């Protein structure tokens, strides 16, 4: 459980007692609260608990990409980076054995009209069915940058041997579940994919974090 700053400040004011209800929060209160963010052994117990690595799933990415971003950010800063790296490059059956970066790219843009036909493709019959309008370009690029900086491999292929760039650029030629309106995101992926390919030569490693 993560306790946010506003919740902590409310607890501070309440703890002062009913007879002192008009007293305002001070700068010292803010300093004390901020110190808790770097101290898991705080006086209030588990105040700033680190998310579990198992919380970082492609299911969360589909159902709540903003929460996925928060979990990834916390794990990247305070977690075991090797475990985060492994998790991001993990390939799931439900995403046609795509890693998290490829899975993200399956969710950017608007799902084509044919795939939105619930008679033929019911909810949960394929990955991305719950997010027809897709993840926005800005959020997707932020997610991808964080994944890359945490060691995610942009060059990973899916079960069919397709790479993420071909999937995005070829659209309907590669998948029934292609999306539209993702051109800006595709250009960004092409840039980082090309860099990764030129760095590795064999397309097996991710892009190092930017400085």
pLDDT digits (tens, 9 = 90+) for 135-163: 999 999 999 999 999 999 999 999 999 99
pLDDT at 48: 55
Task: Tell me: pLDDT of 175 over 90.
Answer: yes
Read off the pTM: 0.73
Identify any residues that bridge with 135 across adjacent strands, giving them in sequence order. 108
State the angle between helix axes of 65-78 and 137-149 in degrees (0 to 180), rounded to the nearest 10. Answer: 20
Return the half-sphere exposure (C-beta side, CA atoms, 13 A cut-off) of residue 55.
17
Mean residue pLDDT across the chain: 81
Tokens of 159: 């079960």
Residue pointed to by tokens 């390939």: 91
d(CA 129, CA 121): 8
d(CA 89, CA 150): 10
Identify any residues that bridge with 92 across adjacent strands, giving them in sequence order. 98
Residues 91-131 have pLDDT tens digits of 999 999 999 999 999 999 999 999 999 999 999 999 999 99
Question: Residue 53 contacts by C-beta under 8 Å, 6 or more apart in sequence?
Answer: 75, 79, 80, 83, 84, 87
> What is the Cα Rg of the chain in Å?
21
């Amino acid at each position: 459980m993560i306790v946010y700053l506003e919740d902590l400040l409310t607890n501070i004011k309440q703890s002062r007692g009913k007879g002192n209800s008009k007293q305002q929060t001070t700068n010292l209160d803010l300093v004390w609260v901020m110190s808790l963010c770097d101290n898991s052994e705080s006086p209030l117990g588990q105040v700033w608990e680190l998310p579990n690595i198992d919380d970082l799933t492609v299911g969360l990415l589909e159902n709540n990409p903003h929460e996925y971003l928060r979990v990834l950010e916390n794990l990247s800063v305070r977690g075991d980076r090797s475990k985060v790296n492994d998790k991001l490059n993990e390939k799931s059956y439900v995403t046609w054995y795509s890693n998290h970066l490829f899975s993200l790219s399956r969710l950017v843009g608007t799902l084509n009209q044919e795939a939105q036909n619930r008679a033929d493709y019911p909810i949960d019959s394929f990955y991305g069915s719950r997010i027809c309008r897709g993840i926005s370009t800005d959020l997707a690029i932020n997610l991808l940058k964080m994944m890359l900086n945490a060691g995610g491999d942009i060059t990973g292929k899916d079960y069919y041997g397709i790479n993420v760039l071909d999937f995005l650029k070829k659209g309907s030629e590669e998948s029934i579940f292609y999306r539209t309106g993702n051109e800006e995101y595709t250009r960004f992926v092409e840039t980082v994919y090309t860099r990764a390919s030129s760095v590795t030569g064999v397309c097996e490693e991710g892009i190092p974090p930017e400085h």
